Chain A
Amino acid sequence: EMQLVQSGGNLVQPGGSLRLSCAASGFTFSRYSMNWVRQAPGKGLEYISYIDSSSSTKNYADSVKGRITVSRDNAKNSLYLQMNSLSVEDTAMYYCARGRSSDYGDYYLDYWGPGTRVIVSS
């Protein structure tokens, strides 16, 4: 059974840092690109980061660029999101999601972790 187990969310003060983790099982993690999506309380989905299967390509939304770093360890079947200089606007549920490409070439998020909550507050 496929699983994405997330951890690392916490209450942190403005300006602080957090490292989120997403541990995968039930599929060959090293063959898939991964993504991070966040959702502020009562708000919509915001796509924030992408990493390909070999870590050679990474991408970030403008809202987090320069403050967030995505990484992965295929030997440990794990995805990470290092978040620095956090502000109250970063308060959200953070989801990791597996990316899937079809023969057509389109790309979608086919399996999502349960989320980990980040609260930035003094």
Chain B
Amino acid sequence: DIQMTQSPPSLSASVGDRVTITCRASQSISAYLNWYQQKPGKVPKVLISAASTLQSGVPSRFSGSGSGTDFSLTIFSLQPEDFATYYCQQSYTMPYTFGQGTRLEMK
């Protein structure tokens, strides 16, 4: 199975900050990389697919990039509703494994 490694595991930031979360795959996955957001007690929500395609309704302050093995999710100008846990997921080959998550906390 492909291993997905996210960093950092947790991150403290303030409203208005720009933050970047990285995700590394154990082998090349082209651009088959998704990002999800999960808030406490809620189901995950897909933000970005194909490494950089913003899903409908997702604010433009979210941006994804990368290909091959290294990917990143950047949130420009953090808003209060963005404090959550973020997961990457590869969809290159089954099983479609997730990263371990990055918890974004308010400083």
Binding site for B on A (CB under 8 A): 35, 37, 44-50, 59-62, 95, 102, 104-110, 112-115
On whether A104 and B95 interact (CB within 8 A), knowing A44-B100, A109-B44, A114-B43, the answer reads no
A113 to B43, CA, bound (A): 8
Given A47-B96, A49-B95, output 20 extra A-B contacts at Cβ < 8 Å: A35-B96, A37-B44, A44-B87, A45-B89, A45-B101, A59-B94, A62-B1, A95-B44, A102-B49, A104-B31, A104-B50, A106-B50, A107-B32, A107-B91, A107-B96, A109-B36, A112-B43, A112-B44, A114-B43, A115-B43
Determine whether B69 belongs to the interface, using a CB cutoff of 8 Å to chain A. Answer: no
Sorting the interface of chain B by its residue count into under 10, 10 to 19, 20 to 34 or 35 or more gives 20 to 34
Taking a contact as CB atoms under 8 Å apart, the answer to whether B46 and A110 are in contact is yes
Q: Kindly provide the distance from the CB of B2 to the nearest chain A CB, expressed in whole angstroms.
A: 11
Taking a contact as CB atoms under 8 Å apart, the answer to whether A47 and B43 are in contact is no
A50 to B94, CA, bound (A): 8
List the 3 closest A-B pairs by CB distance, nearest first: A59-B94, A106-B50, A107-B91
B32: which A residues are within 8 A, CB to CB? 105-107
Determine whether B7 belongs to the interface, using a CB cutoff of 8 Å to chain A. Answer: no
A22 to B70, CA, bound (A): 34
Taking a contact as CB atoms under 8 Å apart, the answer to whether B50 and A102 are in contact is yes
A113: which B residues are within 8 A, CB to CB? 43
A113 nearest CB neighbor, chain B only: B43
Taking a contact as CB atoms under 8 Å apart, the answer to whether B89 and A108 are in contact is yes
